[in-house]
Amino acid sequence: MNSSDVMKPHQSENTRTKRARVLLICGILSSLLSVAITILARQGKRVPAVAAPSLLAQSFPDKTSDAAPHDAIDTYIEQQLDHLNVPGAAVAIVEGDQIVHQRGFGQARPGGMPPSPQTPFVLGSTTKSFTALAVMQLVEAGKVDLDAPVQRYLPWFRVADPQASAQMTVRQLLNQTSGLPAASGWAPLADFDSSPDAGERQARALATLQLSRPPGCAFEYSNMNYNLLGLIVEAASGESYAAYVQDHIFRPLDMRHSYTTRTEAQQNGLALGHRYWFAYPVAAPDLPLPRGSLPAGYLISSTEDMSHYLIAQLNDGRYGDAQILSPAGIAEMHRPGVKFTMMGVSEQYGMGWFINDRDQVRIVSHSGVVPDFFAYMAILPEQKKGLVLLLNADHFLMSNFALLEIGVGAATLLAGARPDPVRWGVIIPWALRGLLLIPALQILGVTATLLRLRRWRRLPISRPSRGQKWVLHILLPMIPNLSVAATPIALVASPLRGFLLLFAPDISWLARICGSFAGIWIFLRTGLILWTLRKGQSSPSRVHATDAVS
């Protein structure tokens, strides 16, 4: 009987033991992951949207005698908010020149009451329509020409191409057809320079930027278009952007709970924002506001004030006795200026508004995304209806898919149509939670490697040949580890690293932690394998003799 015959039963028994251990570890990891998700889900649950009836009647006056037509919208919103663990939200609906429905859901702040109609939220990119309105006011005042080059108002403005710099017009900025790439507007969102000239400094940095395409050729959404428009408002009016909006939009529309700084809004009850970590909201009380991006996405308002704004948009620029823009000016803002296709869907963009036709009903809308708040507003010009929905939680992937579905669905119901089945609201949360499998698989990989090394030490005959050692046990396992290890390097090298840390903190930190571990594990794992196999080869005759006797 040779040594290999002696080893066969031992090898079979050891293989069964190893498989049992691996299955046990997998079970433990799965159980721990399930427990963690359950705990997070319970912690992330919102309080009921309905408090004592008398309190809600006082906090959320309904100007209609019968709120039943809006019950379906409330129910739809509440179901989606609950499913997505949104901490708090507020909705308002207008018809004609009246606010007909207002309601709050969840909590404006942890342990607090639902948001009231006066609770401020950060508006995100719904700010763009305010900036477009300011520009159109200056057009009607004869201070801005839509088809004039940007350099008429900002003589220092440059991009890398001198010809494109001279050709880019105010209208192209408004219609998002300037050729400025999307990334040029993302990076400034993580620039928290609070000086008055922050926006101009960021705009001057475009001097070396290559455009995605020549100006006027095609649509490409970029915050930088509207940051530049904010600078044009300042140059043409002689006022700061913040002062202009306060004096010419907020004040005439009686928007008394609207602000241009987070500090002032916090002093007046700003809802507490949250950032999603693996689809669960975590409070983010101290996020600063990037002053240079104020015209593109950082005005602050409440559902009551936004209702005033929507009423003006629906009524040819008039709210009460105030006329903030001519009917022709409002129509120009809502007129499709460019058509484009996004994810296979045909869409249109005006001036700070997306325009879509759904079931023969025109919906003019815009969403707003910042790291800790989400906003959606829509008007139905033909039906003289409008809706605004403000949420105090966000994530870059959640907002552009799952949270946007809530707003679009609510607007569709307001139009009298049936919303599409929820798709992204199911996929995105589970995709984010699924990212937690990466560290779980890394732990499993480490455990499997240590068990294999132990087996090689105990059963020398199970050790791989030289070719198997390098191909199967070192080089092939190195490929996924290298892929993971490359992510933090790419993240650090990217000009968007600050943006990703703000808008997708879970993905960013997971890439850093798991990537760093993968890089270390590549060397450690290779060293352990080589050391174990080399040690085992140092006295083969003694090892085989011992194995044979046993």
CB 11 within 8 A of CB 458: no
What token pair was written down for 294? 């104020």
Same domain, 108 and 18: no
- The domain total for the chain is 2
Identify the pLDDT of residue 549: 37
45 within some domain: no
Q: How far apart are CA 410 and CA 72, in angstroms?
A: 9
Q: How far apart are CA 186 and CA 177, in angstroms?
A: 17
Identify the pLDDT of residue 493: 86
CB 409 within 8 A of CB 421: no
Residue ending a domain, among 431, 450, 480, is 431
Give SS3 for 98.
strand
Same domain, 91 and 220: yes
CB 136 within 8 A of CB 332: yes
Give 422-429's long-range contacts (Cβ < 8 A, gap of 24+): 422/80, 422/83, 425/80, 425/83, 425/84, 425/401, 427/401, 428/279, 428/397, 428/398, 428/401, 428/402, 429/84, 429/279, 429/398, 429/402
**C-alpha separations of 24 from 119, 435, 451 in Å:** 51, 22, 13
Residue ending a domain, among 398, 431, 464, is 431
Distance of CA 335 to the CA centre of its chain: 28
48 within some domain: no
- Buried-exposed string 224-260: b where 16+ CB fall within 10 A, e elsewhere: bbbbbbbbbbbbbbeebbbebbbebbbebbebebbbb
Q: For the sheet containing 361-370, what is the strand order?
A: 98-106, 88-95, 385-391, 373-380, 361-370, 354-358, 345-349, 338-342
Residue ending a domain, among 431, 447, 463, is 431
Other CB atoms within a 10 A radius of the CB of residue 533 amount to 18
Same domain, 75 and 137: yes
Question: With left for phi above 0 and alpha for psi between -120 and 50, is residue 106 left, alpha or beta?
Answer: left
Same domain, 210 and 279: yes
Identify the pLDDT of residue 100: 97
Range of the domain at 11: 3-39+435-549
Same domain, 81 and 195: yes
Other CB atoms within a 10 A radius of the CB of residue 548 amount to 14
What token pair was written down for 357? 């036709």
**265-286 pLDDT per residue, tens:** 999 999 999 999 999 999 999 8
Same domain, 357 and 496: no
Look at the alpha carbons of 465, 468, 470, 473 in this order and tell me if their dihedral is positive or negative.
negative
**147-206 pLDDT per residue, tens:** 999 999 999 999 999 999 999 999 999 999 999 999 999 999 999 999 999 999 999 999
Same domain, 105 and 117: yes
* pLDDT tens track, the chain, 550 positions: 444 444 444 444 454 555 545 444 554 554 455 445 444 444 444 433 333 333 233 333 333 334 456 999 999 999 999 999 999 999 999 999 999 999 999 999 999 999 999 999 999 999 999 999 999 999 999 999 999 999 999 999 999 999 999 999 999 999 999 999 999 999 999 999 999 999 999 999 999 999 999 999 999 999 999 999 999 999 999 999 999 999 999 999 999 999 999 999 999 999 999 999 999 999 999 899 999 999 999 999 999 999 999 999 999 999 999 999 999 999 999 999 999 988 778 899 999 999 998 778 999 999 999 999 999 999 999 999 999 999 999 999 998 889 999 999 999 999 999 998 888 889 999 999 999 999 999 999 999 999 999 999 999 889 998 888 899 899 999 999 999 999 988 988 888 899 999 999 999 999 999 999 999 999 999 999 999 888 766 545 444 444 433 3
Same domain, 444 and 528: yes
Identify the pLDDT of residue 537: 64
375 within some domain: yes
- Check which CATH number belongs to the domain holding 423 and give it: 3.40.710.10
What token pair was written down for 300? 């602050």
**Amino acid occupying residue 483:** S
Same domain, 73 and 183: yes
Same domain, 450 and 518: yes
